[in-house]
């Protein structure tokens, strides 16, 4: 089995910063890419940022210049540094890993989510 555990969410004032972490464990095999998504109540889950195994990154237009995704391959951990946070960034953030586990086929795995609240 593969498990993804997010951490680092919380309450921050507008203009503040948070750093999210996502640790992947279990029968990982080969990680193809990882990403952060966010989902507001009643809305679809949207990509925030993604990073490939080679380190290529992609960002939603709404977070470019403010968020930075990174990955520590040796620890199977991904990070999202969020700066200049806005109230509209507040929602639940989910970690995703697209990988080939040792005993299976390519699949997407998700964490349970971490809440980010931006409020004064």
Nearest-Å Rg of the Cα atoms of the chain is: 14
How far apart are the C-alpha atoms of 20 and 41, rounded to whole Å? 20
Comparing CA positions, the residue from 112, 113, 107 lying closest to residue 31 is 107
* 3-61 pLDDT, tens digit each: 999 999 999 999 999 999 999 999 888 889 999 999 999 999 999 999 998 899 999 99
Comparing CA positions, the residue from 117, 116, 99 lying closest to residue 108 is 99
* 60-109 pLDDT, tens digit each: 999 999 999 999 988 999 999 999 999 999 999 999 999 998 888 889 99
């Amino acid at each position: 089995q593969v498990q993804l555990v997010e951490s680092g969410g919380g309450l921050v004032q507008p203009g503040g910063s948070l750093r999210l972490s996502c640790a992947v464990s279990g029968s990982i095999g080969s990680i193809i890419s990882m990403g952060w998504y966010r989902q507001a109540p009643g809305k679809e889950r949207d990509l925030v940022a993604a990073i490939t195994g080679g380190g290529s990154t992609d960002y939603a237009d709404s977070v470019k210049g403010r968020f930075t995704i990174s990955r520590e391959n040796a620890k199977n951990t991904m990070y999202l540094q969020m700066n200049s946070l806005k109230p509209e960034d507040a929602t639940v953030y989910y970690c995703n890993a697209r990988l080939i586990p040792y005993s299976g086929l390519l699949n997407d795995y998700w964490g349970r989510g971490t809440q980010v609240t931006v409020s004064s």
